[in-house]
Amino acid sequence: MIDDYEKKQPGYTLSAIIVKTSVIEDSTIHRIIWEKHRPETALSKIRKWEHLNLLGLKVSFDSLQRVSSTNKLKPSKPTLVNFWFTAFIPCLEEIPFLNSLHEEFKVKLNFVAITFEPKDLVTNFLISNSFKFSHFANGQGLADQLGIEAYPVSFLLDQNSEIIRVFGGFSKEDRAASPNSWAAKELIEEIKEITAANKK
């Protein structure tokens, strides 16, 4: 396949990387992304797009400003982290889905929302809007550290606060009980897998 492509597109090649592996009964299924690139650029664009360079990185919330919340983070629990901001419609459209995840998995998972905006802006937003995560403000430094350039984006962390998956935005039709988008289905599958493993 790659040889045929290189003959048709001189100067370019195809590279593949496995970004997700699932085992269903007796079958192993890999999700593969193909990238057209010049040989010298290798897979840098794929790794940046999928945030693959962040997998295994430990995330700390110590440098962030906590917004008043009744939701306390449970130690040694997996965590879903959502990077968002109040003035961006795609961030707001996925909140009902995120709230439904909180209702479904709040006993087994921590839920954290981080914005680069100031604390008072988030506080005022939460007065009239339900977003059931634990909220942190002034998170631009952490966003820069993680290389976040587009919003919204969500990180799934294991019980050691290490990144295991990164997801882009979700559909406004998504709900925990009836996920519509591929990303939502993948996230729910990952949550079930990691929370089941965390019980062992």
pLDDT for residue 51: 63
Tell me the per-residue pLDDT of 143-187, one tens digit each, with 9 for 90 and over. 999 988 889 999 999 999 999 999 988 999 999 999 999 889 999
Tell me the per-residue pLDDT of 13-31, one tens digit each, with 9 for 90 and over. 555 545 555 556 666 665 5
Domain 65-198, CATH? 3.40.30.10
Cα–Cα distance measured from residue 194 to residue 198, given in angstroms and rounded to the nearest whole number = 6
Which pLDDT band holds residue 54 (cuts at 50, 70, 90)? confident
Task: For residue 112, give the 3-state DSSP assignment.
Answer: strand
* CA-closest candidate to residue 108, choices 167, 29, 172, 192: 192
Domain boundaries, the chain: 2-49, 65-198
pLDDT at 1 over 50: no
Average pLDDT, the chain: 81
